[in-house]
Amino acid sequence: MIPTTQLNKENDTHSSHLLGLNDLNNNPNTLFDFWQSLIDNLVISRLFDTQINNHALIKKMTDEQGVYNKLLSEYKEKLGKVFYYNTNNYPSDIQGDLKGNVFYAQHSIIPAINRIDDDIQPHLVSGRKTLVIFKPHEKIKENEQLNIKVYNEDNEKIYSTYLLPPSKLPKIAGTEQRFTRLTPDDFTIPKSFDFTINASKKIKELTESTNYLNQLMTENDIIRVDIDAENLSINLDSLKKRPNKKLILNLADNIDANIKYRNNSIPLSAQQSFVMISDETGRWFTRDESRLSFHYQQALNIDKYKTPETFDVEFTTNDDINHISKNPKLFQDIIKKNDTIKIATRDYHWAKDFIIPNSKQYANKKILFTSQAYFNSDVTYGDNEVRITTGETKLFISDDEGVWSIYSPDTQSTVNYALPQSFDIKINKNKELQKISKDICYFNEVINNNDNIHIATRNANWARHFTLETHPNFKNKKIYFSSDADYDSHVFYGDQKITIKKGDSQLFVCDEFGFWRTYEGEPLINDDSDEIRYIENGWSVAIPAEYIKPKIRLEFDYHGKQGTLSDIYVGAPTELLLHTIDIGMLTPYRGELAFQKNAELQRQYFQQIPINRLIVSHYAPIHLKEIVLPSGKHLTHRSDDDGGGHNGDMREQISKDLISDGINLANYGVHSSATKENNYLPTAQITIHNSRGIYKNGLQEHGWSGGAGKATLYNTVDNEFSHELGHNYKIGHYFKGFKGGVHATPDKPNSTWGWDADNNFFIPNFEKKKTNKYTVLDARDPNAEKAEPYMQHAMLKDAMSGGELYDKAYNAYTLHTPTTAQAIQHFFENSAIFSKTSSTGYQKWDPNTQTMQEYLPPHTKNISFVDVPIVDNQDVTETTLSALLNKNDHIKIESYNSHYPPNIYLPQADHSNKNKVIEIDCTSQWSIKLHVNGNKQIISHNTKVYYISNGDSWEPSSELTFIQKPVKQGVPVVTLVGFYDPQNQLKSYIYPALEGSYGMVYNNDTIDTTKPYLAVTLRNGEVKQYQLDQHRFISQLMNKFHINIERRLEPVKAELYVKGQRVSSQHIELTDQPLPTTINGIIQS
């Protein structure tokens, strides 16, 4: 079949010339008339051996991708090359007269009911798109309907739909052939362009700015780029979907470039013109991909439309033939139950009328009518009717919707496979060989103009690659390859490749359908690789995220039979906030923070972890030209320390402690902290960074470290990223040993596959290549437990156990085992999230009510409490406490034996002590009488309590919660960090401002000028002040500060004050570079 897109090409003169379509725009007839016109104009005999009498197939094939992949799978199934991974047979998971087993998939496949002893699995995440897989215990035909309904906790139906048949269950990543309506002829380079880029500055902008290329694609359909700079990379994956666009890349001499698309990467060499086209779906294709797609489509159509070799049922006697003729309901029931039917009439065994109605229950059936009877038979199919006369054979085929069409029977090939006695042209000069090798359009013209071609290579007259494209206009053409060259040549045709070595020769003949073959009957599809599917008879459907809530139940329905799945545990709508920054210390930053630059990588990581939302913020890269350490040491050229991947004072104290912890703490409204690793982690918030610096031992790049809300990474793709973030989820090395760290087959604990919900493919838990190797947790252990390979594919390992990837082209991060995924989920469900709707600014999951509740996080541990002096058996007076509160925000009364105050008198709560905190910790064997708010209370043995002034009264709390609420959340911020010495003995320092795309901001303080504070001047002249702690947290070291200012306010200067004196200042220079934020890999506008 000719793809319908060919009829709509107005500018493709090459395509029109080859296929003779120039006069067809004025021929608005049926597809049959169009086909006849092709035959008349080109004398194409029996193109694909079918004469289409009904064009319903074309109208109904709205999903060619699914249709052709289904055909390809059916073809493999005939070859016995389809295998099912999960072959477990367990009792029904659902209650009712419909029986079956249920699986979910979010980031990975989860059994609805875990039936394997000692197996650990995660549960569903609220508000996340979920694939439901149902394996009925009875066989249900593909064209029948299986329904699913979702009910909420009030037994109200909130969603209903039908499940897709097993042929549409997601496949393993990369195993589906990508089909498109594009053909190789569409890749002809046009003579004119809508827009040309040839200035070096613009080309650089093209490679660095997603916005620029997106804008060009919005305004232009055909864009030419002349590349004259080395090592440029154009990433088409970062573009919004732009259908029907053409990008032509021309490379100058000695220039190499790279183009990325659909997670593929193609190197381009000098003096090459390369064309990329987006089809009507917005997916990008190369010419070779369209060639393979076109070949498969035509080959699968021939296979689909050919007459079956055997039939499920045949009708050849007069009684049987008349029985189905006179009883249409019986005939329809026979069609429903059988895929292939033959009706053969002859004299005395004949009937006049047959009715074949259109109906989805008759999808993908074949009925062959043959007649040797004197009398005609009339067949009504759908809304059409056809007469079958003596000697005729007609094959009726239904499509996926059960709509019938007629196809001609198979005929004998007339192609001659003998070697020609002479050739019209011989190509043996290097210039011509190179031209037909690199310019496929030119090669096609040569083939079109010559019936017999000889291509001869020898030393100095040679080319590496030749491509023979499938084309109906090449019928009976012959190409003979011979080689006397020391180098191999490769000929690509159909879906295979033949290598021509020295002394070899090979004849290629184009058959009547336009396929190149090396011998008569050569298979058109040669992919004989195994196809592994997750489960047999798996019906599936993706339930939208908004219907995945706690306490839902599922109901399945098939022909009046029902089955219900209740007690579905749906957990928290958890979140992860990742900040990203590239840091250079006394040297420029690396510029290789791939995760930050590529939203697709962010999307892929989201697909690997059990959360509802992944927010990724983008901080501008920073080159720190001078470094001040918390000790006061000032560096301008290099550190005096030795650096390394895990070593270096700047690594620890600047990139990790100051910047990464500083970004996190600024988002909590914690203005100052100790200069050491921070452990204040109320939410799942992590800052990831690349960093490097100049040390005593030279330039050192840091990485391979994670935990406590930060990750120092050398590589932000592959297992390093997954592993170091795993440490942030409190997962250790070799978590749970062999049973937790090594993936397993479905008959054992710890088995799953990943699921990409956006692209709807599975990521298996075994290696892509066949190595037939056993998998061990630690290869250094000679007695290590081993996991057997699955069909020669070695089992993979978890990220925390030396994990590997299935295929980086489809997901650049490690598939966690269910054991680790459950532990990660536990971490997230025990973490709070920032919430704009909460009165506290935070929410946290309550597993008892299965709801998100308002939450006050505990205060940071880096609070300096001043001890109240205690004299044994003497009261703590109001005067003593008032004096201490005048100078300190946090004071502590500690009572123990021989250090016991019988009474404590709190001063009256008022504006002067608002938000100040008194901790009382009683470990003495005697109780204390507390006088507070005009009342008496008893503080018993082993009691710790905090009293916080709200300005009117002292409020007790069993834990010190964080009382600051963000005034804005998720806004662009300027993060100010640095060191200050409350004693003003070491030189304080404000670092250059950090610009981020997403953060939390807080109200400025009413400050006490006798204590340290930061003053920030805005462009409009307003000054905002932020109070800092007045005590050193660690003796001999400065404290660090970290404060967010909303970017919209345009801060221009920061000044640091200690004891009323300005000790440091920094001008704030903001850039105009775009800093995108993504949510689940989607760039936010």
Write out the catalytic residue numbers: 724
Question: Distance between CA 131 and CA 760 in Å, rounded?
Answer: 9
Q: Which three-class secondary structure string do you get for 230-290?
A: CCEEEEHHHCCCCCCEEEEEEECCCCCEEEEECCEEEEECCCCEEEEEECCCCCEECHHHH
Is the torsion defined by CA of 250, 255, 260, 266 positive or negative?
positive
Q: Which of 144, 138, 891 is nearest to 536 (CA)?
A: 138
Question: E strands within 415-543?
Answer: 425-427, 452-458, 465-468, 478-484, 489-493, 496-500, 505-510, 516-517, 531-535, 539-543
Cβ-Cβ contacts under 8 Å for 576 (sequence gap 6 or more): 609, 611, 613, 614, 615, 684, 685, 686, 828
Q: Which of 680, 670, 675, 678 is nearest to 1027 (CA)?
A: 670
Cβ-Cβ contacts under 8 Å for 65 (sequence gap 6 or more): 176, 178, 179
Strand order in the sheet with 377-381: 353-356, 377-381, 384-388
Q: Which of 989, 1035, 1032 is nearest to 1014 (CA)?
A: 989
Tokens 């973490």 belong to residue: 831
Q: Is 733 annotated as a binding residue?
A: yes
Q: Is 465 annotated as a binding residue?
A: no
Question: Which two structure tokens, joined as six digits, stand for 1047?
Answer: 């970017």
User: In Å, how far from its chain's centre is CA 663?
Assistant: 27
Q: Identify the H or E element spanning 826.
A: helix 818-829
Q: Which of 612, 618, 594 is nearest to 812 (CA)?
A: 594
Question: Distance between CA 829 and CA 846 in Å, rounded?
Answer: 9
CA separation, residue 559 to residues 97, 144, 364, 554, 566 (Å): 11, 9, 21, 17, 21
Question: Distance between CA 790 and CA 802 in Å, rounded?
Answer: 19
Question: Distance between CA 145 and CA 571 in Å, rounded?
Answer: 31
Number of Cβ within a 10 Å radius of residue 26: 6
Cβ-Cβ contacts under 8 Å for 333 (sequence gap 6 or more): none
Indicate left, alpha or beta for 275 from its phi (over 0: left) and psi (-120 to 50: alpha). beta
Question: Distance between CA 408 and CA 981 in Å, rounded?
Answer: 90
CA separation, residue 850 to residues 125, 132, 614, 721, 842 (Å): 11, 22, 21, 31, 16
| Polymer length of the chain | 1085
Q: Is 671 annotated as a binding residue?
A: no
Question: CA-based Rg of the chain, rounded to a whole angstrom?
Answer: 36
Question: Distance between CA 836 and CA 822 in Å, rounded?
Answer: 28
Question: Which two structure tokens, joined as six digits, stand for 165?
Answer: 């048949």
Number of Cβ within a 10 Å radius of residue 56: 21
Give the DSSP letter of residue 703: -
Question: Distance between CA 37 and CA 28 in Å, rounded?
Answer: 11
Helices 430-438, 440-449: inter-axial angle, 10-degree rounding: 110
In our burial notation (b when 16+ CB lie closer than 10 A, e otherwise), range 395-433 reads bbbbbbbbbbbbbbeeeeeebebeeeeebeeebeeeebb
Question: Distance between CA 821 and CA 815 in Å, rounded?
Answer: 9
Q: Which residues are annotated as a binding site for Zn(2+)?
A: 723, 727, 733
Binding annotation: 723, 727, 733
